[in-house]
Amino acid sequence: MLTSSDQLLIEHCIMLTIYISCALISTVNQPTTNLPPIMTQNPTEAISLLRNESLATIIQMEVERLILAGEFNPNDKLGEAAIAERLKVSRGPVREAFRALSQEGLVRIEKNRGVSVRQVSVEEADEIYELRAGLDEMIGRLAAQRITKDQVKQLHGLINAMEEAARKRDVDTYYPLNFKFHDTLASFTGNQTLLATYRRVVKELHLYRRQALARSQDSFQISIREHAEIVAALGNHDQKRAARLLFEHATESQHRLRDVVLNDTAKRNDTL
């Protein structure tokens, strides 16, 4: 009869197999923009991460990936048993992962109703965007001061990929690239506390932004132009301009997406 320790070891081995397979695939011919950090690393790095992280943390990362990739929509129920079956693990670590995701603001846990993907209201999004704009301004100032030529090239590469997705109006490709652009830029500040705070704020906005972007007719090209202007300022190490452009980018995004969501809501009400 298996002990609890034996069961945990087996579950870790299963997750190890899944993540090493994903790491191998991603190094051959698969795009990595939709994958979590562990899946974009080589197999050796994946093994190292699995040794240092708990099973609940790994499950949390995978469920977070599914939410950010749009596989689960706002208000979708996340069944503990279903997730456990999907990942071939027991329900205990899944329950722990759900609690962590709730603290991140990605899911809601309600008594007698279970766990569901969080629906961000327009009012909540406005408050989060105000915070994001302040963080973006700080990121612009610090990144412009510290960014290297190679890092600027890296941002240009992301913009090129975003332009290709924009031409195809492919939101499933564009959105993760946009997410990666801002996350990469935040990492270039070298301030880990700022990066961690920024990541939490952006994750809370992801579903609101993704759905609004998919319905907006003009957002792609406007977004591309604004990103290009930001990178130009960063390449010139113009701290004031980079900070201002990033602040304006956040606030303009807030206004554009808010209008899209409100117009969509009005149209639905008209059909009732």
Residues carrying CATH 1.10.10.10, the chain:
4-117
Residues carrying CATH 1.20.120.530, the chain:
122-270
The pLDDT of residue 38 is: 40
On the 0-12 / 13-18 / 19+ scale of CB atoms within 10 A, 233 is buried
pTM score: 0.71
**Amino acid at the residue 126:** D
Q: Per the CATH hierarchy, to which homologous superfamily does domain 122-270 belong?
A: GntR ligand-binding domain-like (1.20.120.530)
- Reported as a single tens digit per residue, the pLDDT across 27-63 is 333 444 334 444 444 445 554 555 556 888 889 988 9
CATH of 4-117, one of 3.20.20.70, 1.10.10.10, 1.10.4010.10, 3.40.50.300: 1.10.10.10
pLDDT band at 67 (very low <50, low <70, confident <90, very high): confident
Rounded to 5 degrees, φ, ψ at 239 are -65, -45
- Reported as a single tens digit per residue, the pLDDT across 148-203 is 999 999 999 999 999 999 888 888 788 889 889 999 999 999 999 999 999 988 88
- How many CA atoms lie within 13 Å of 254's alpha carbon, on the beta-carbon side? 22
Which residues 6+ apart lie within 8 Å of 173 measured at CB?
31, 33, 161, 165
pLDDT band at 206 (very low <50, low <70, confident <90, very high): confident
- How many CA atoms lie within 13 Å of 218's alpha carbon, on the beta-carbon side? 9
DSSP 168: T
